[in-house]
Amino acid sequence: MTSPHRYRISAYDPAAHLFEVQLRVASPDPEGQVFEMPAWIPGSYMIRDYARNVVSIRAESDGLDVPLTKLDKSRWLAAPVRKSLTLIAEIFAYDLSVRGAHLDNTHAYFNGPCVFFAVRGQEDLGCELEIVPPDHADAADWRLATSMRRMEGPQYGFGAFEADDYAELIDHPVEAGNLSIGEFEVQGIPHAIAIRGKTHVDMGRLCHDLETLCERHMSLLGVPRGFDRYVFLVYAAGNGYGGLEHRWSSSLVCTRDNLPTRGDDTVGDAYRTFLGLASHEYFHSWNVKRMKPAVFTPYDLSVEIHTGLLWVFEGITSYYDDLALVRSGLITEKSYLELLGRTISRVLRGSGRLKQSVEASSFDAWTKFYKQDANAPNAIVSYYAKGALIALALDLKLRHETLGRVSLDDVMKACWQRWGETGVGMPEDGFEAVAAEVSGLDLDDFFQASVRGTGELPLDALLQTHGIQYHVRASSGSSDKGGQKLDNAKQRGVWLGATLTESNGKSTFTSVVNGGPAELAGIAPGDEAVALDGLLLTSANADKRLKAYRVGDELDLVVFRGDELVSTRIRLTSAPLDTCYLELVEDVELAVESRRMAWLHG
Ligand SMILES: [Zn+2]
């Protein structure tokens, strides 16, 4: 029995970065068959128009060419045929991101939306996929990792795979190359991690830690129906960071330093970052891949789909990603509070939080969050970072006001039962209604202010109820991410109110804070720094240079705007208290202590 849709992808010209994709449709539409490439990939809310990478395309039936008509940027119409119809296309693949496809002599990686055409009107039918290796000698040792169900071929080899429908076909990224593979089990379910890139990873430790982490997530919401395997696909690069979630896998990009090496058993900043990323994508297996906004059921991949709920699906996931690290014992309470302090600092540093709500940020993700320009810090708020802080505030509020009876965990469990286990999409007001229902509290004012409003969150008071002291201070400079206590002497006294970034040996003002000294001095994004007070100004020396000045000092500032020299005067003001750190209060009452334990250790 063969599937109605048989796809075949071959890495046929790695040097030219070309995949060849064939698609055989057993029973094409008798009126003429429409084929379509997605404009976007679920989880990454930007129009990418994957059809732009189609280099050539043709169709045939019964050995004869079939006329193809291009209907619009993403769709083709094949003339009516009486037998099966085969589409054959060359697709350019040279995007190393977790949203792309990439083929060269060292590996092949693809996401389904980049390479597979949908058969319009038949999206619900079963699909088969044959993956063919390149025929150059280096590829003989390649292994292949994917969460797609295997029909033929050895484990981690090339072969044939199957998916229930088109949506599933494009939800299994595939990586083939020289892979380091580790395996572990979580509640009897096989999990694997496949890493591409030269590393000296301590695979035993990595698998052990991931198992602990995944176990923790699994214990919160339970094993989803049909969740019978999971694969982390990791690209360990010289540079880069990011991830994309899928139902049975995730794609991660990190730096080599993010992975644990043999002989090192600490969890430093870099490894903690990797664990946080893996934790984030794994939690998405529940939150957004199975439980999702109603407007995503099903996904329409041809146009932007707007929802005000991304703060629930990305923000709450960002809250649980780090929380799971401390709850599973992989990091200490102190280390977790440092991460929280960093998230709070990220939000405090953008005045856009006072202009855009997280609901609006979610809705406009397509054109604002995903298309950030130099004005973004002044104009928008991240539904990830502020969404995580709303989740924190809600969790602490629920725990405090119900005397520990209800927490965000209970709200998530109720949401999961209603929308995750059923596959029914969450309505736009669903999360808030369930939070109120489960807790018995009137949360209208809280959600109005935090989700639709732009005021500051009451984190100081809420953390206090859990024995955590909230502090703000000035930043120590461009490398200060926050989260740590610092002597006054190390903090900035004055600031420029602009970000300087180095690229190609030039230091450029990349963003300018509304109302800050640089803006008042007429500095604009894109201006190249030349001199401050008669001396060279660069992104590398700016923090040190500013140490010499006091609040109110007026200095000459010279920049290039384009190729024209511009001289101005800048009046330095005191650096804002935009950097947060949190401290565990010792000697708290027993009730506070047990509330804090329940929060941080589940
Ligand atoms: Zn995410």
pLDDT tens for each residue of 364-422: 999 999 999 999 999 999 999 999 999 999 999 999 999 999 999 999 999 999 999 99
Angle between helix 385-401 and helix 408-415 axes, rounded to 10 deg: 110
DSSP states of 409-470 as a string?
HHHHHHHIIIIITT-PPBPTTHHHHHHHHHH----HHHHHHHHS--S---HHHHHHTTTEEE
Give residue 251 CA to ligand 1 midpoint distance, Å: 11
DSSP label at residue 197: S
Give residue 279 CA to ligand 1 midpoint distance, Å: 10
Query: Residue 51 contacts by C-beta under 8 Å, 6 or more apart in sequence?
Result: 37, 39, 73, 74
Give residue 159 CA to ligand 1 midpoint distance, Å: 31
Residue whose tokens read 């003989």:
140
Mean pLDDT of the chain: 97
Give residue 229 CA to ligand 1 midpoint distance, Å: 20
Give residue 321 CA to ligand 1 midpoint distance, Å: 10
Per-residue pLDDT at 144 exceeds 70: yes
What are 65-124's pLDDT values in tens digits?
A: 999 999 999 999 999 999 999 999 999 999 999 999 999 999 999 999 999 999 999 999
Q: Which amino acid is at 146?
A: T
Give residue 488 CA to ligand 1 midpoint distance, Å: 36
**113 phi, psi to nearest 5 deg:** -60, -20
Other beta carbons within 10 angstroms of residue 535's beta carbon come to 11
Give residue 254 CA to ligand 1 midpoint distance, Å: 15
Q: What would the 3-class secondary structure string for 337-355 be? A: HHHHHHHHHHHHCCHHHHC
pLDDT band at 240 (very low <50, low <70, confident <90, very high): very high
Q: What pLDDT is recorded for position 602?
A: 84
Interatomic CA distance for residues 57 and 254, integer angstroms: 35
Give residue 317 CA to ligand 1 midpoint distance, Å: 7
Across 193-212, average pLDDT: 96
Q: What pLDDT is recorded for position 264?
A: 86
Give residue 358 CA to ligand 1 midpoint distance, Å: 15
Give residue 455 CA to ligand 1 midpoint distance, Å: 24
Across 519-544, average pLDDT: 98
Give residue 594 CA to ligand 1 midpoint distance, Å: 31
Percentage of residues of the chain with pLDDT beyond 90: 97
Across 513-536, average pLDDT: 98
Q: What pLDDT is recorded for position 541?
A: 97
- Kindly list the distances between the CA atom of residue 500 and the CA atoms of 113, 172, 291, 400, in Å, as whole numbers in the listed order: 37, 40, 41, 42
Give residue 522 CA to ligand 1 midpoint distance, Å: 37
Give residue 273 CA to ligand 1 midpoint distance, Å: 14
What are 23's strand-pairing partners?
7, 87
Give residue 458 CA to ligand 1 midpoint distance, Å: 25
pLDDT band at 136 (very low <50, low <70, confident <90, very high): confident
Give residue 376 CA to ligand 1 midpoint distance, Å: 20
What are 291-336's pLDDT values in tens digits?
A: 999 999 999 999 999 999 999 999 999 999 999 999 999 999 999 9
Q: What pLDDT is recorded for position 358?
A: 98
Give residue 85 CA to ligand 1 midpoint distance, Å: 38
Per-residue pLDDT at 1 exceeds 70: no
Q: What pLDDT is recorded for position 137?
A: 84
Interatomic CA distance for residues 117 and 129, integer angstroms: 12
What are 30-57's pLDDT values in tens digits?
A: 999 999 999 999 999 999 999 999 999 9
Give residue 570 CA to ligand 1 midpoint distance, Å: 40
Q: What pLDDT is recorded for position 263?
A: 87
pLDDT band at 566 (very low <50, low <70, confident <90, very high): very high
| Residue 506 CB-half CA count within 13 A | 12
**241 phi, psi to nearest 5 deg:** -165, 130
Burial track 127-140 (b if 16+ CB lie within 10 A, e otherwise): bbbbbbbbeeeebe
Give residue 366 CA to ligand 1 midpoint distance, Å: 15
Residue whose tokens read 């970000």:
499
Percentage of residues of the chain with pLDDT beyond 70: 100
What are 418-475's pLDDT values in tens digits?
A: 999 999 999 999 999 999 999 999 999 999 999 999 999 999 999 999 999 999 999 9
Give residue 131 CA to ligand 1 midpoint distance, Å: 28
Interatomic CA distance for residues 484 and 57, integer angstroms: 56
Q: What pLDDT is recorded for position 2?
A: 75
Across 349-355, average pLDDT: 97
Give residue 310 CA to ligand 1 midpoint distance, Å: 9
Give residue 314 CA to ligand 1 midpoint distance, Å: 5
Give residue 290 CA to ligand 1 midpoint distance, Å: 13
